[in-house]
């Protein structure tokens, strides 16, 4: 065989796994769109306090999406960056509550893959392929979650609050503080759904996210269930850099509101009114603004290490979440003004989606995200044309 022939065979062998993964990612994107439409059709029925979208989560499993961001070696499709943003948008377009649950699932797997060992990655991979939903529960209430270690026993004491999927997620990723004050990530196995208390979640929106408090007191912890080192959970650039994922879900909700507004104008024959036409144009601009920010943030945040400064990625993602928030707030006001009172009446899906989106947009630390990004920008010697290169 000639050298050129050998090189051709080698290139073919190397490209085959990548080609298969690319095909699988495209199929997952198609499945996400189908699932988004199915979730949208069911979303009204799930819009009740304490409800969990069982059928939608089962659809995530059946379509392979629960394992989508796992590496190829663990049976996943290594879904990340722009392809992942397309999936998050599609699911968010169907149900923002489902999008919140799926984004948390993806985040939990990413954290274990980044900071855990091979055995821990194998554990979450196996359970994800079996249809288990993961989540990240970080918010402590008045009774902080603590990791207690005595002799040969390790267990948890305390609670987490604002935990989406409470009572349904069997293995959440949580943060807990040990006796030395170290903040660690833990993957406890929850066997008792009655540890969850959903009575405190009476929010305006996101009713179908099964958000509540969970009591972990007495849950035994095995060595394999302690992930990474102290401070890994908040380690940058990934802690702030991952915010583009929930912004992608927000974008999906915005896109659904755009579709509903346009259909309303078509069905009522009001689209030719110049004021309605102007509002539709501004709504389109808001959606496209958000889409461009999310797409660029996904590319920047998921770029290989060393290709850009970590602080740059954090700054851009911080601006993205705020740009998407501003665009979404503008869009909701325009849609409600165009549709009128119907946009506030149940069971109009515009009412439900606007309520869910307004609630989901309330992410922590928006002012700090903006000023931190501004501080990085102020310190740069580069002009605007090169700032994000």
Domains, the chain: 20-129 (1.10.540.10), 136-227 (2.40.110.10), 238-386 (1.20.140.10)
Task: Identify whether the C-beta of residue 164 lies closer than 8 Å to the C-beta of residue 201.
Answer: no
Statement: residue 220 has pLDDT above 80: yes
Query: In the chain, what's the furthest Cα-to-Cα distance?
Result: 75
pLDDT tens by residue, 103-154: 999 999 999 999 999 999 999 999 999 999 999 999 998 889 999 999 889 9
Task: Identify whether the C-beta of residue 330 lies closer than 8 Å to the C-beta of residue 288.
Answer: no
- What is residue 9's predicted lDDT score, i.e. its pLDDT? 36
- What is residue 223's predicted lDDT score, i.e. its pLDDT? 94
Local confidence band at 11 (pLDDT 50, 70, 90 cut-offs)? very low
Q: Distance between CA atoms of 287 and 253, rounded to whole angstroms?
A: 10
Local confidence band at 23 (pLDDT 50, 70, 90 cut-offs)? confident
Render 87-140 in DSSP notation, one character per residue: HHHHHHHH-HHHHHHHHHHHHHHHHHHHHS-HHHHHHHHHHHHTTPPP-EE--B
Q: Distance between CA atoms of 208 and 98, rounded to whole angstroms?
A: 8
Please count the other Cβ atoms lying within 10 Å of the Cβ belonging to residue 381.
5
Tell me the whole-structure pTM to 2 decimals: 0.92
Local confidence band at 305 (pLDDT 50, 70, 90 cut-offs)? confident
């Amino acid at each position: 065989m000639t050298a050129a022939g050998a090189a051709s065979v080698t290139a073919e062998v190397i490209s085959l796994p990548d080609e298969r993964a690319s095909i699988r990612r495209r199929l997952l994107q198609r499945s996400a769109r189908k699932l988004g439409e199915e979730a949208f059709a069911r979303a009204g029925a799930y819009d009740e306090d304490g409800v969990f979208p069982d059928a939608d989560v089962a659809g995530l499993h059946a379509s392979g999406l629960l394992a989508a961001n796992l590496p190829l070696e663990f049976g996943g499709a290594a879904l990340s960056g722009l392809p992942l943003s397309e999936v998050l948008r599609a699911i968010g377009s169907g149900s923002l509550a489902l999008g919140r649950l799926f984004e948390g699932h993806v985040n939990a797997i990413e954290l274990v893959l980044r900071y855990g060992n091979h055995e821990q990655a194998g554990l979450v991979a196996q359970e994800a392929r079996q249809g288990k939903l993961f989540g990240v529960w970080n918010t402590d209430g008045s009774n902080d979650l603590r990791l207690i270690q005595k002799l040969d026993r390790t267990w948890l004491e305390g609670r987490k609050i604002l935990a989406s999927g409470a009572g349904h997620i069997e293995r959440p990723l949580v943060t807990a503080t040990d006796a030395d004050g170290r903040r660690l990530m833990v993957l406890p196995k929850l066997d008792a759904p009655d540890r969850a208390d959903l009575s405190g979640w009476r929010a305006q929106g996101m009713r179908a996210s099964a958000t509540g408090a969970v009591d972990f007191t007495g849950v035994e912890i095995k060595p394999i269930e302690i992930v990474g080192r102290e401070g890994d959970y908040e380690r940058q650039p990934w802690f702030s850099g991952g915010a583009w994922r929930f912004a992608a879900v927000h974008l999906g909700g915005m896109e659904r509101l755009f579709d509903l507004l346009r259909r309303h104008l078509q069905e009522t024959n009001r689209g030719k009114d110049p004021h309605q036409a102007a509002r539709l144009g501004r709504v389109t601009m808001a959606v496209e603004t958000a889409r461009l920010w999310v797409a660029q943030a996904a590319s920047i945040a998921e770029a290989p290490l060393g290709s850009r400064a970590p602080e740059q990625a954090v700054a851009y993602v911080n601006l993205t979440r705020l740009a998407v928030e501003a665009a979404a707030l503008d869009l909701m006001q325009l849609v409600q003004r165009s549709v009128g009172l119907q946009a506030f009446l149940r069971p109009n899906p515009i009412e439900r989606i606007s309520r869910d989106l307004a609630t989901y947009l309330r992410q922590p630390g928006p002012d700090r995200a903006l000023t931190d990004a501004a501080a990085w920008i102020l310190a740069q010697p580069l002009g605007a044309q090169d700032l994000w290169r």
